Amino acid sequence: MKAQGKAIKYGDNVDTDVIIPARYLNTSDPNELAKHCMEDIDTEFVSKVQKGDIMVAGKNFGCGSSREHAPIAIKASGISCVIAETFARIFYRNAINIGLPIIECPEAAKDISDGDTVSIDFDSGKIVNVSKNKEYMGVPFPEFMQEIIAADGLIGYIKKQLGSKEA
């Protein structure tokens, strides 16, 4: 699986309250959530994001509330992958569980500038900055997480597990 798009860059400690403010959590409809994604720190995000774009951020991305609405909103807004120096642990789990591709790569997160064209090969973990003609290697997923990803998320994985128990 591959992704390519323009980078939209943010700083450290982007919390799930700014990814999707709680005032919009009276629904879990992905398209409704996407309309308000990032608006408290970037009022232009919703109008500028193009399908396939890549979100790039610093340390502790997705900290705070466990709301799965955060990765759901990012995914529904068209973002194909989030690259960060580090992810907060609940966000990391949630992203894997719902099938939003994420990659930890401090080097790429620091070096990529807003607007750079970036491509990612998820199988190898290789990130290419097309604009700067540079390459970075992301931290690969542990094997069991790759199984979850291959099953299109945790629900698919559990279904498979339960199915094999019955069989």
Partner 1 sequence: MGMTMTQKILADHAGLDKVSAGQLIKAKLDMVLGNDITTPVAVKEFKKIGVDKVFDVNKIAIVPDHFTPNKDIKSAEQVKFIREFAKEMGIVNFFEIGQMGVEHALLPEKGLVVPGDVVIGADSHTCTYGALGAFSTGIGSTDMAAGMATGEAWFKVPEAMKFVLKGKPGKWVGGKDIILHIIGMIGVDGALYRSMEFTGDGVAHLSMDDRFAMANMAIEAGGKNGIFEVDEKTIEYVKEHSTKTYKVYKADDDAEYVATYEIDLSQVKPTVAFPHLPSNTRTIDNVGNIKIDQVVIGSCTNGRIEDLRVAAEVLKGRKVHEDVRCIIIPATQKIWKQAMNEGLFDIFIDAGAAVSTPTCGPCLGGHMGILAKGERAVATTNRNFVGRMGHPESEIYLAGPAIAAASAVLGRIGSPDEI
Give dist(CA 110, CA 7) in Å, integer.
12
Residues in contact with partner 1, counted by CB under 8 A, come to a total of 41
* Residues 6 or more apart in contact with residue 13 via CB below 8 angstroms: 58, 59, 60, 61, 63
Is residue 110 involved in binding partner 1 (CB under 8 A)? Answer: no
Is residue 146 involved in binding partner 1 (CB under 8 A)? Answer: no
**Residue 148 Cα distances to 48, 69, 163, angstroms:** 31, 19, 15
Judged by CB under 8 A, the stretch of 3-11, 57-65, 105-113, 132-140 that binds partner 1 is 57-65
Nearer CB in complex with partner 1: 60/129: 60
Give dist(CA 152, CA 24) in Å, integer.
26
Is residue 98 involved in binding partner 1 (CB under 8 A)? Answer: yes
155 three-class SS: helix
Is residue 139 involved in binding partner 1 (CB under 8 A)? Answer: no
**Which amino acid, 89?**
R
- In the complex, least distance from residue 143 CB atom to partner 1, rounded to whole angstroms: 9
**Which amino acid, 149?**
I
Nearer CB in complex with partner 1: 22/130: 22
Among 54, 63, 108, 109, which residue interacts with partner 1 (rule: CB under 8 A)?
63
Is residue 17 involved in binding partner 1 (CB under 8 A)? Answer: yes
